[in-house]
Structures are given as structure tokens and as C-alpha cells.
Amino acid sequence: MRVVRSSVYRRYTSSLNDLQSNLNKSMNKVSTGAAYETAADNPLAYYQGKKMDHLYQDAKSKSSILGDIKNRLYQQEQGARDIQKTLSNSKTSMQYLLDSSHNSSKTSVQTKRDALLQDVQSMVSNLNSQYQDFYVYGGNDITTAPFSLSGDGKTLTYTHKYSDGTTKTVNMTMAYDTNNNTYSYHLSDDDLNNLVTAMREQGRVDIGYGDISNRQSLLDTYTGGLNMLTGLTSDSLNAMSDANAKDAVKAALETTPVALLSRSVMACDNYINDTTTVDQFTDTMGSVLKDAANTEHTISTIYSDLGNKYSLVETTKTRLDTLSDNLTEEYKDILGADPYEAITEMFSYQYSYSAALKMGSNLMQSSLFDFIK
């Protein structure tokens, strides 16, 4: 009987374990496509890959939210354009009411009054546009429509849920000044404070545009309904003192598309009810028409700005998607295994491992002649 020393078995067992480990690694390389399993295999390539993976995940994360942002911006732009279009069409009714041959008939005035009321109700409907569960011109509240209009068109109600979780409602009621023949909203100081606070809110998001260390460089994806109606941006209001901001908001609210049509409807009611004379009525309609021209320009500027933001988001999404694709290819170049080389290596280790197992079997035979066959 042949005697084999224990040291031979130890060396054989160690070599077999190494072969099995290398075979497993080569099989993993084929199945995963990764050239390295741990940092120790190639520290430089491994940490380059980790950095690239971080950049890739960041790009994919930002790109994933841009779809929702694009759709919200589109809904905001569409709403502003529809309101501007409604105001433009309403000017035809206002011009009609200025003509003495038409406003002499209160029946005709009533007909146009009803059309103007329908137009302002349409505007408020646009202000309550939704994307998924959110009101695109609202705040953080997904349960309450931000705007509502009274049946007579005089009172615009605004409800806003602030960032601290509190919800407040402001009623803006149009009132007639008999001494000056003017129409305006009556707002308390608390009302103005609430409106200014809401209009100063922003929605700056890190989407791969701007510098994260400079918040002002990030894209503001939120435009409140009152900001859109008045043309007052959150940036401009944040730059003002509280007193100046309240004055600016109060003045701008008087010439919003909703305010102009509410003034027109109320002027028609006062004329039909003989509260005002035909001269006072035509003076009011002339004033509304004059303000409407400037308001149209304000709204068109807002939806142009929203369109620019939409285009910017679209460009940013394309850039992020391209970056993700490029990083994927670079990752494969640095950490990816060559398929042909990996398969060849795997078969080589399989052959070596099988041969080693056969040698081990022969090593355990009792005959020296069996071992050397």
C-alpha cells in the first residue's frame, strides 16, 4: 500500500480550493458581465465605477421627476393662454356695450352681461386646473379648489394651504364707489398679508439645472394663480418690503382678467337697475377696455415665461437621459468584462478544476499504478 504524506494533501486541497474560487469568479463574471467583484480586484477601476454609479443614479432620479414637472408647467401655460384668450374675446362684448346704439337697450345689455359672467366663470375654472391630484395654480392643498366665484361674479374667494400646514381663505369682493364711479376690491390688512405670503411661495427644485449651492439659480417650478393673474412673480415680491408688496398686490388685483370682467358684470347690473346712468356705464366700460389691453400683455408675458420654463425642463431631461446613456457605456468600458474573454476563462478553469478532481480521486487510490495511469 502506498503512503502519501499529509503535506501533499494540504497542498492539493489548497490548490483545489483556489481553482474552485477562480471558477466561481469566472462564472459570476459571465453571468453578471462585471469584470471585478470587490475593490481589491482593481481599486482604481472599482472606485471609478462607484463614482459613475452615483452620477448615474443622480441623473436617473432627476430625470424621473421631470415628466411631472413638464406636465404641470404645460397645464399652467395652457391655463394662462386660455384666460388671455377669454379676455381677448370678452373685449368684443365690452366694445359692443360702449356703442350707444346697443347700450340703449337694457335687454341687449343683459345679454352681454350674462356672456361676460360666463366668461369670468370660465376663467375661474381655468384657475382650478388639475394635474393628477394637484391644482396647478394652488398651494399644498389637494382637497380644496383654490378659487371660487360667487353667482353674481362679485366675490372671488381664494383658499390657500401654506407651507406650515395652516389654511386660510380670503374673500375679494368687488364694491362700487358711488362718489367716484369706480369699482374695486375691499381687502383688509390681514387679507393682504395672507395674499402676499401665498404669492411669495416658491418651488425651486434641483433638476440638474443651476447650482445646488445657490438656491436662486435653481428653477422655480411653481407659479401661483394670483401670481399668474397679477403678473407679480414670487422673486419680485420677495425683493420688496412687506408694505410695498401689499401695495403692489392690491393695485395689481384691480386689473386682473377676473377683476376686469367682474367690474363689467357689476357695471351692467348697476346700469340695468338704474343705479348708474348711461354715461357712468360707458365711462366704466371704456376704463375696463383700456385696462384690458395692458392686462392681455401681462398674461401673455406670464405664459411665455412658463413656455420657456417648459422648454428648459425638456432640454434638461434630454441632457440627463443622454448623460445616463453615456455613463452606462463608460461603466461597461471600465468595469465590464469582455464576453469572449470571460467565457474562455470560465471554460479554462472548468477544465483545470475537473482535472484536479480527477487527480484527487487518483491520489486516494491504494495503488501507485492507478494513480499514475
CA–CA separation, 226 and 232 (whole Å): 8
Q: Within a domain: residue 54? A: no
* Residues 87 and 223 reside in one and the same domain: yes
pTM (2 decimals)?
Answer: 0.75
Q: Are strands 147-149 and 134-135 parallel, antiparallel or unpaired?
A: unpaired
* Residues 29 and 115 reside in one and the same domain: no
pLDDT tens per residue across span 197-222 = 999 988 787 777 766 777 777 878 88
Instruction: Name residue 220's beta-bridge partners.
Output: 204
CA–CA separation, 341 and 33 (whole Å): 11
Domain endpoint, select from 305, 325, 354: 305
Q: Within a domain: residue 163? A: yes
Q: Within a domain: residue 350? A: yes
* Residues 144 and 231 reside in one and the same domain: yes
Q: Within a domain: residue 285? A: yes
Q: Within a domain: residue 98? A: yes
Instruction: Name residue 147's beta-bridge partners.
Output: 158
pLDDT reported for residue 67? 84
Q: Which residue has the higher pLDDT, 4 or 302?
A: 302
Query: Considering only CA atoms, which of 161, 139, 164, 304 is closest in space to residue 225?
Result: 139
pLDDT reported for residue 255? 96
Residue 158: which pLDDT band, with cuts at 50, 70 and 90?
very high
Q: Give the contacts of 136 (CB within 8 A, at least 6 positions apart).
A: 72, 75, 76, 79, 129, 130
* Residues 244 and 366 reside in one and the same domain: no
Number of domains in the chain: 2
pLDDT tens per residue across span 120-133 = 999 999 999 988 87
**Taking 60 as the threshold, does the pLDDT of residue 289 lie above it?**
yes
Q: Within a domain: residue 284? A: yes
* Amino acid making up residue 205: V
Query: Considering only CA atoms, which of 191, 161, 146 is closest in space to residue 173?
Result: 191
Q: Within a domain: residue 91? A: yes
Residue 23: which pLDDT band, with cuts at 50, 70 and 90?
low
Helix (H, G, I), strand (E, B) or coil at 340: helix
* Residues 178 and 284 reside in one and the same domain: yes
pLDDT reported for residue 149? 97
Domain span holding position 155:
74-305
Residue 356: which pLDDT band, with cuts at 50, 70 and 90?
low
* Residues 160 and 210 reside in one and the same domain: yes
Q: Within a domain: residue 104? A: yes
CA–CA separation, 96 and 102 (whole Å): 7
* Residues 5 and 126 reside in one and the same domain: no
CATH number at residue 281: 1.20.1330
* Residues 144 and 279 reside in one and the same domain: yes
**Taking 80 as the threshold, does the pLDDT of residue 332 lie above it?**
no
Query: Considering only CA atoms, which of 99, 126, 163, 167 is closest in space to residue 261?
Result: 126
Q: Are strands 167-177 and 155-161 parallel, antiparallel or unpaired?
A: antiparallel
**Taking 50 as the threshold, does the pLDDT of residue 371 lie above it?**
no
**Taking 90 as the threshold, does the pLDDT of residue 276 lie above it?**
yes
Residue 339: which pLDDT band, with cuts at 50, 70 and 90?
low
CA–CA separation, 336 and 332 (whole Å): 4
* Residues 167 and 284 reside in one and the same domain: yes
* Residues 252 and 373 reside in one and the same domain: no
